[in-house]
Structure 1
Amino acid sequence: MWDKLLDRFLTGMMVQDRLSVTYPDGATRDYGPDTGAQAHLQITETAALRALILNPDLGLGEGYMDGKITPLNCSLDDTLAIIIRNRYAGSLPPWMLMANRARFHMRRFIQHNAPSTARKNVAHHYDISDDLYAMFLDEDMQYSCAYFSDPDMTLEQAQIAKKAHIAGKLRLEPGMRVLDIGCGWGGMALTLARDYGCQVTGVTLSENQLATAQGRAEAAGLADQIEFRLQDYRHTQGTFDRIVSVGMLEHVGVPNYGQYFGRVAELLDPNGVALIHTIGRSGPPQAHSSWINKYIFPGGYVPSLSELAPTMEKSGLWQTDIEVWRLHYAKTIRHWRDRFDAHIDEISAIYDDRFIRMFRYYLTVCILAFEHQMQGVYHFQLAHKRDAVPLTRDYLYPADPLSPKAKTTPSAALAGS
């Protein structure tokens, strides 16, 4: 029964590549035209077959984690790329379309993310081990999209460029009060305090990240300029000249976008500037990955611009600039996966094979989402006043590298790195 249902599913879905599947009974069937890319999957147990039918996204990820679904004579990249491309090009059976619609409409309940729930969700991913993240991130522990203004940059250079590009958009001056919402391990806060002379308040819900960030500030002699707090953005008080939030909006959840942008508006000084950096979809909203929600980012969601725009409009803030980064995150995560694989012996000494397969699947599926789906990174520059920043982007790309404005450009930061 289950093999016949999967056969029907793949026959309708595979329209532009060739996917071969070896079933638990040893039979191999081919799907799609004998053109384009090719991949081969082996399914060793009927239970994995059943899981694929009931929830393809969750079933495929769990099957790979458990070693019950494996690529044969091809890479995980090859297999997932073919599946992603054909999922959107081909047709899905009615029961799968209904299940997808149900998950989409349930997202407001799944992503309620009250403060107590948000704290647990963050701990699930970020509090597992700083040592693990140190093995594949850059030296500054930037766990967000880097900015490859030069395609040949190293990961370290591209993360420096990212921070400098953001700093340029913030139009920083020494002594400014900056709020960093979702400050991670403190890299952005340290950069803004050390290189731009700002007074920075960083808030996070991760106890591991808080301890590491505080230790880094002490070691750098910046404890008098930076305060890190274990605090939900909804509980933050005060007024700030600048607000920056990098890679945190993805954890807010659809029901809370209005409150999020409302808090940014309340906390931002009347003359202030905010920069929100987030993964986003250029296509219509859709249900988030059930596998990602279960194993990687509980309560997480990649919003479409159409879901964010109404809440930004209601906040009363000007959208002074919106920039879209395409493929930068795919390049970033490829660097992460290369480093993850380079440290596999050390990682294997700490984690079991199932965890390692889970994490490699996570990195791979994210790379392919940015390469094959309508997914990128948005920069929303927001302000109360329409003239809070210059009226053109020229200030971000000065012609004279020796001009004062060049101090906040990626090229200047790289030259001094």
Structure 2
Amino acid sequence: MTKPVSSVERQTSQPDAATRSDATGAIADWSKLPSGERYLYQLFSLIDAADFTVVNPAGQEFRFGRVGASEPLRLIIHHPGTYDRVLSFGTLGFCEAYMDGWWDEANHNLVELIGLFYRNNVYSKASRKVTLPLLFKVLTQRLKTVPVLIQNSRKNVQHHYDLGNDFYQQFLDPTLTYSCGYRRHESDSLETMQLQKYELICKKLGLKSGEALVDIGCGWGGMLIYAAERYGVSGTGITLSVEQAKLAQERIEQRGLGDRLTIKIADYREFHGQFDKFVSIGMFEHVGKGSFATFMQQANALLKPGGAGLLHTIVTQSNERNGAWVDKYIFPGGYAPQLHELTQELWAAKLAVAHCENLKPHYAETMKRWAENLVCNRDTIAALGDTYDEKFLRMWYLYLQSFEASFRYGSLHVYQLLFYKGKPWPLPMPLDFSW
């Protein structure tokens, strides 16, 4: 990431309503600054229990919160255009400015910086300011990516998941699992966390040798491979990503599982079959609110009577779903559900909820490890081609750090919902997933 600039001595003036004191009692006045800069500092004036300093392009320092209240954070703004971008486009403008190298946190600690904004309601206040330029951008993006149309779903998936298998191999673990891991011990590696997640899901589903498993949004086939090797099942994986499907099938053949596992490039709405068990890990966020009922009805249709399924998905407690920046650059068309929306649609599809578990802290740890790998391998990634330039790397670093912050301090959760079809209870008793 871009090395932050050095700070210089702050300039001070007489105190008034738009000032903040620093550790020495000196006062930095921002009441007469340009409107964009004033607006950003007004947002930061919400910050209380933190030691937070902003250095503007002129070298002036403005301190917010309380000295010693936390580990110091320093936002260094390199480009004066940052302020107007925030004034016009809110968090979208702030994030785009980061992608362009217009600001940095002195130690690249975006997790704690964004966590600071969450804890002090900076984001929520900023999101209430809707400008015409921002509204136009948001509406234009959503109209182009709404996943009710199958062709839009296909484009949305390809935007994120067809970036190249070589790229994903630089920050994922050897199982190529791109979803929340499950940490049992502090020393667990990323690969161990992912294998433990697969084991947890297999136990919840009560997988047995000879059963047929369908995986909707199968990625690179990690879940199917694990279930086939450890539990003796056969299975079919569904994905819209051509890149994922190709490598997933290669990995299946390499492990001698070609007679039991198959990967198909298809939309879940176009797929038919009958299976003992159903799983979907980290795919439901791409379905879109208008298709929640369709997804659950399809889960019912794919399950045999007495079958069981597990839905693993990001969930939000916020009324704001994907922000404008995430929707534009990371997950176009994405929509994080709320928990009650899932349970209502499962019930409407005549699927009974058997168990629900929140893995929120586990995803924060997973995101942390992905970001560490991205930084360690940034030179290798950059050498893969022109696509992976500095702007791309900053975009992905911000994405991973901001999602970690949201799982640690914000409104994102990740749930595993275990459900079944029919009235008789088809799962082991008691529900004991320990090992």
| Fold conserved between structures, TM > 0.5 | yes
Percent of residue pairs identical: 32
1:136 aligns to what SS in structure 2?
Answer: coil
Instruction: Report the AA paired with residue 323 of structure 2.
Output: S
Cα distance in 1 for residues equivalent to 2:229 and 2:96 = 44
Q: CA deviation at 1:91?
A: 5.0
Q: CA deviation at 1:105?
A: 10
2:308 aligns to what SS in structure 1?
Answer: strand
1:276 aligns to what SS in structure 2?
Answer: strand
- Against the structure 1 CA distance between its residues 61 and 262, is the aligned structure 2 distance closer, same or farther, given a 3 Å change threshold? same
Q: CA deviation at 1:142?
A: 0.6
Q: Is the 8 A contact 2:36 2:84 kept in 1?
A: yes
Q: CA deviation at 1:124?
A: 0.7
- Against the structure 1 CA distance between its residues 85 and 234, is the aligned structure 2 distance closer, same or farther, given a 3 Å change threshold? same
User: Pick from 318, 323, 343: which aligns with 2:377?
Assistant: 343
Instruction: Report the AA paired with residue 152 of structure 1.
Output: S
Q: Is the 8 A contact 1:15 1:89 kept in 2?
A: no
Find out whether 1:392 has 2:430 as its counterpart.
yes
Partner of 1:33: 66
Partner of 1:361: 398
What is the CA deviation profile of residues 317-350 of structure 1, one whole-angstrom value per residue up to 9, with x for unaligned ones? 1001111113001111111122222212212223
- Against the structure 1 CA distance between its residues 93 and 65, is the aligned structure 2 distance closer, same or farther, given a 3 Å change threshold? closer
2:170 aligns to what SS in structure 1?
Answer: helix
Which protein has the bigger helix share? Answer: 1
Find out whether 1:161 has 2:199 as its counterpart.
no
Partner of 1:176: 211
Partner of 1:115: 150
Cα distance in 2 for residues equivalent to 1:371 and 1:393 = 28
What is the CA deviation profile of residues 71-105 of structure 1, one whole-angstrom value per residue up to 9, with x for unaligned ones? 23563333222222212698559535999999999
Cα distance in 2 for residues equivalent to 1:360 and 1:284 = 23
2:345 aligns to what SS in structure 1?
Answer: helix
User: Pick from 219, 230, 234: which aligns with 1:195?
Assistant: 230
User: Pick from 87, 94, 103: which aligns with 2:121?
Assistant: 87
Partner of 1:66: 100
Cα distance in 2 for residues equivalent to 1:133 and 1:42 = 30
Instruction: Report the AA paired with residue 62 of structure 2.
Output: R
- Against the structure 1 CA distance between its residues 29 and 93, is the aligned structure 2 distance closer, same or farther, given a 3 Å change threshold? farther
Q: Which runs of 5+ in 1 are unaligned?
A: 398-410, 412-417
Partner of 1:53: 87
Cα distance in 1 for residues equivalent to 2:311 and 2:127 = 38
Cα distance in 1 for residues equivalent to 2:356 and 2:167 = 34
Q: CA deviation at 1:391?
A: 4.5
Q: Is the 8 A contact 2:141 2:327 kept in 1?
A: no
- Against the structure 1 CA distance between its residues 342 and 8, is the aligned structure 2 distance closer, same or farther, given a 3 Å change threshold? closer
Find out whether 1:22 has 2:55 as its counterpart.
yes
What is the CA deviation profile of residues 173-215 of structure 1, one whole-angstrom value per residue up to 9, with x for unaligned ones? 2221211100100111112222222120110000000000111
- Against the structure 1 CA distance between its residues 212 and 392, is the aligned structure 2 distance closer, same or farther, given a 3 Å change threshold? same
Q: Which moved more, 1:51-60 or 1:227-236?
A: 51-60
TM-score by length of 2: 0.84
- How many matched pairs? 395
Find out whether 1:323 has 2:361 as its counterpart.
no
Find out whether 1:242 has 2:280 as its counterpart.
no
Q: Is the 8 A contact 2:90 2:127 kept in 1?
A: no
Cα distance in 2 for residues equivalent to 1:330 and 1:265 = 31
Cα distance in 2 for residues equivalent to 1:10 and 1:295 = 25
1:161 aligns to what SS in structure 2?
Answer: helix
Find out whether 1:287 has 2:321 as its counterpart.
yes
Q: Is the 8 A contact 2:360 2:414 kept in 1?
A: yes
Instruction: Report the AA paired with residue 276 of structure 2.
Output: D
Cα distance in 2 for residues equivalent to 1:93 and 1:154 = 37
1:335 aligns to what SS in structure 2?
Answer: helix
Q: CA deviation at 1:158?
A: 1.4
Partner of 2:252: 217
Cα distance in 2 for residues equivalent to 1:154 and 1:215 = 25
1:192 aligns to what SS in structure 2?
Answer: helix
Q: Is the 8 A contact 2:217 2:282 kept in 1?
A: yes
Cα distance in 2 for residues equivalent to 1:277 and 1:93 = 28
What is the CA deviation profile of residues 353-392 of structure 1, one whole-angstrom value per residue up to 9, with x for unaligned ones? 1111111111111111111013222111111135111353
- Against the structure 1 CA distance between its residues 179 and 51, is the aligned structure 2 distance closer, same or farther, given a 3 Å change threshold? same
Q: Which runs of 5+ in 2 are unaligned?
A: 1-34
Q: Is the 8 A contact 1:108 1:254 kept in 2?
A: no
Cα distance in 1 for residues equivalent to 2:206 and 2:111 = 40
Q: Which moved more, 1:141-150 or 1:190-199?
A: 190-199
TM-score by length of 1: 0.87
* 1:292-303 alignment, distance < 5 Å: 292-303=326-337
Q: Is the 8 A contact 1:39 1:74 kept in 2?
A: no
Cα distance in 2 for residues equivalent to 1:142 and 1:232 = 20
